[in-house]
Structure 1
């Protein structure tokens, strides 16, 4: 009996229970569908990285005697067509809990059922699938700390080995090559694929996790794991990371486990409230007065606000498709509370450029900063970008790396607050706003929804 394994956000062979389930029944067709609904809106970073990751997956399959069949078009039609082509009785997937993915899978499931084919879901991209952890009354958690306790108590299965001895199948008609979209000038991306993910994780375990708690907020230091893009595309599963962290008792390992729990919390919140992918979790914040994006928004996007740490963050995003998490909070606060622009505009910009652009983590992270999400930062907590730069980039190394105009310490003694004369001499813009005045304006607008 043939089966189809439909790859989505699980681009790996190892520790893939859904793939093992598919392989338990006979020959397997490894399939990936280039869905226009997802490929079209994706920015250049995600497109290029996905293409590289699919190439790595195909190479792994070829080393095992198979190959990845890639088709383009509506998944409802293409998955049914693929199942029919190999005479499959089942299509296996890891469950997708995103708003679009869940709806798409229901439609595919219905179309397959008409052909007498079952859609079989096993596991998900999370250690604990969204919806599994609930309060005593059956409702979803709205606060992280009790969720994280319940999440840890629930636990998760251990990693599983890659399948062996599989008879792989492939489609002979109507397949397509994986596109290789050109990267914009100046954009470089990290290495993609399952092997790259495991190498990077091993490096972090050896030389990063022990002091993760002390270095993770410093964008000037290599203090983070840089695993977010590997997790986004399922090149490695959080189960694997948690298994390796389990015997470690240091503060760094504990904080890293907490960060993985935050990722799963946001996925759980989005599963319970799919509308919050675009709308406010706390609806009253939709009533607050906001400004429409204008030339100051364009300056923010381009890293030309005149606030060095904000500009460094935005330029890092455009250069490598990634931004340090502390800088994500600082740049988000600047957009919402200094420019008074709604968070959705910033969230879209981030998703366009981020390699690790994950809908739940990105958009609920933005809502956290905007004061409208779960466990949200109080709206009156407005990040001072200059103070944040001095605190978390004390030597200015991060700013100097990404804002080339400020790179020379002889010409720019203080990269966090250069004088007007220095700015003019190196071609760096004056600040586009007065932070103190805009902070007061933000708090006045906030008062309008508190009455």
Structure 2
């Protein structure tokens, strides 16, 4: 009997428990649902998804079917087509992912079939790392210690592409070439992007073998190529964090330990959103009164200047232009641009998070929402609201030779570059005054 693998955020053959389980007793068919929700993605991000699916389809000898429609509709139709009584899939934990898998489970159950969730996009699934009293962690450092103590399974063996059964063509198959064409070779990000799984694993191994040792010392420098560049692959499920942890396990240097902790932050945020799903839209901690946030035409103009990289603060503008041109931004710069929007311009973090959702190629829902809440001082174990980044000090510290800002602001040091839109010192003092007033009233 044929089983069915419902591909979700696990677009790979290596270390894929759901696919392995689908192949355990029989050949498995494979389907991915190109849902209406993907229409909200940026052209660049949907193109990346299309190219990732195209590469996986190639690696599976054409066996992966990609079909348009709601997941429940697509998965049920594929299960009926191959008479699969059981569908295997990785479990998701975001509010949208939970709702989607609930709808799929209900549709299958009504048809005498069922879904089994095996594995997740995390080394340790949300909800498994708890305090001794059974409650979730609210502070990262003890979560990290408990997460490390909990441990994770060794990476699973690669699934066999030869044991994937081909689904018959369907009228609603998605034209991956058409979607991939949203970003052609002229896009500055694409000459640097690899999609084939073997090459992605090689790149990860190369980073761990040659670059992770300097990661702790250099990861905050946007002028240096010192990050892993693996956030896209983690977001799309082209590589599993457990695979990276397996590569790191023999190492004892500080860079490896810091890189491991960055993977743990990803899991901490997923855990936080699992326990507090309201965090996707609402602050977990109130820092200012509603009337203290910027609204109306002035806020819209300030947000537009920030979004377009014309605030007059070079590190902020360079980061926003890098995001617009490539769909990616260095992590240190993400913190600086977010702090500037929320604490200098007093624009609610939700507006910045939504802009990142629309533009980031490596968008991960829990990471995005909770990282914004971290900077805004409203999340779990967040940076205190009164910690306000000085964009100039950050520039001097992390881009001392101005290589990063000169790359992204060609008109720097010319009359075409705008003067600072605000006085940072005055904005900081105003924000702190409003914060202390609001705190006194609570």
Normalised-by-shorter TM-score class: over 0.9
Unaligned runs of at least 5 residues, structure 1: 407-411, 413-422
**Residue in structure 2 matched with residue 409 of structure 1 by the alignment:** none
Query: What TM-score comes out, normalization by structure 1 length?
Result: 0.92
Q: Trace 1:373-392 onto structure 2 (pairs within 5 A).
A: 373-392=379-398
- Seen in structure 2, the aligned counterparts of structure 1 residues 55 and 285 have a Cα distance that, compared at 3 Å, is farther
Any conservation in 1 of the 2:287–2:377 contact (CA below 8 Å)?
no
Which one of 421, 427, 441 corresponds to residue 430 of structure 2? 441
Q: Which runs of 4+ in 1 moved over 3 A?
A: 183-187, 283-288
Query: What TM-score comes out, normalization by structure 2 length?
Result: 0.94
Aligned equivalents of 2:102, 2:357: Cα separation in 1 = 25
Aligned equivalents of 1:385, 1:283: Cα separation in 2 = 24
Aligned equivalents of 1:285, 1:238: Cα separation in 2 = 36
- Seen in structure 2, the aligned counterparts of structure 1 residues 167 and 324 have a Cα distance that, compared at 3 Å, is closer
- Seen in structure 2, the aligned counterparts of structure 1 residues 300 and 388 have a Cα distance that, compared at 3 Å, is same
1:169 aligns with 2:166: yes
1:234 aligns with 2:237: yes
CA shift at 1:113, angstroms?
A: 0.6
Aligned equivalents of 2:312, 2:287: Cα separation in 1 = 32
Which one of 252, 277, 301 corresponds to residue 249 of structure 1? 252
CA shift at 1:198, angstroms?
A: 1.0
Q: What are the Cα deviations for residues 327-377 of structure 1, in whole angstroms up to 9, with x where unaligned?
A: 000000000011110001001111111111001111101101101011111
CA shift at 1:448, angstroms?
A: 3.0
CA shift at 1:200, angstroms?
A: 1.9
**Residue in structure 1 matched with residue 42 of structure 2 by the alignment:** 43
SS of corresponding position for 1:92: strand
**Residue in structure 2 matched with residue 346 of structure 1 by the alignment:** 352
CA shift at 1:2, angstroms?
A: 1.1
**Residue in structure 1 matched with residue 374 of structure 2 by the alignment:** 368
SS of corresponding position for 2:85: strand
Q: What are the Cα deviations for residues 141-186 of structure 1, in whole angstroms up to 9, with x where unaligned?
A: 1110111111111111101122234142213222222222523975
CA shift at 1:286, angstroms?
A: 6.3
CA shift at 1:298, angstroms?
A: 0.5
Aligned equivalents of 2:187, 2:433: Cα separation in 1 = 40
Which one of 112, 117, 136 corresponds to residue 108 of structure 2? 112
SS of corresponding position for 2:106: helix
Aligned equivalents of 1:141, 1:320: Cα separation in 2 = 35
**Residue in structure 1 matched with residue 318 of structure 2 by the alignment:** 312
**Residue in structure 2 matched with residue 418 of structure 1 by the alignment:** none
CA shift at 1:207, angstroms?
A: 2.3
**How many residues matched?**
430
Any conservation in 1 of the 2:287–2:435 contact (CA below 8 Å)?
no
Moved more, 132-141 or 344-353: 132-141
Aligned equivalents of 1:197, 1:97: Cα separation in 2 = 25
Any conservation in 1 of the 2:287–2:385 contact (CA below 8 Å)?
no
